[in-house]
Amino acid sequence: MKYWIRTICSAGALALCLTTSAFAGSYEDGQSAYDQGNYADAVRVWRPLATHGDSRAEYMLGMAYDLGRGVPQNYATAAVWYLRAAEQGLHEAQADLGTMYASGRGVPLDYALAIKWWNRAAG
């Protein structure tokens, strides 16, 4: 009896893992979708990666919100995702965050913070 319970539980766990990984996708899967113009699909792939700290996915979500690709355009949300990636050292995010501070787009206009993030991006 114990053998059957263990077998059923193992099979269920394996099925759950396979299902989860099929939906999660890799960063590259998201990039491929984005490159093909399937922005909503790219966002669906990147969101779980970004929420788990993948700086590239965080940056691309920021860009999606910044440009309104696959999601409604929202500069404040873009700034949040750019900041998460920028704090991990992603130069592209640092530069774009600096630009947002320089223009006051999604964040308060703040030239000192703009320069700070541009300097980090250049470094």
State mean pLDDT over 88-99.
Answer: 98
Full domain range(s) for residue 109: 25-122
Residue 4: inside a domain, yes or no?
Answer: no
Residue 97: inside a domain, yes or no?
Answer: yes
pLDDT tens-digit profile of 44-87? 999 999 999 999 999 999 999 999 999 999 999 999 999 999 99
Residue 59: inside a domain, yes or no?
Answer: yes
42: tokens are 């790219």
Residue 7: inside a domain, yes or no?
Answer: no
Instruction: Please say whether the beta carbons of 100 and 82 come within 8 A.
Output: yes
CATH classification at residue 30 = 1.25.40.10
Residue 9: inside a domain, yes or no?
Answer: no
In total, the chain counts a number of residues equal to 123
Does this model's pTM top 0.85? My answer is no
Number of domains making up the chain = 1
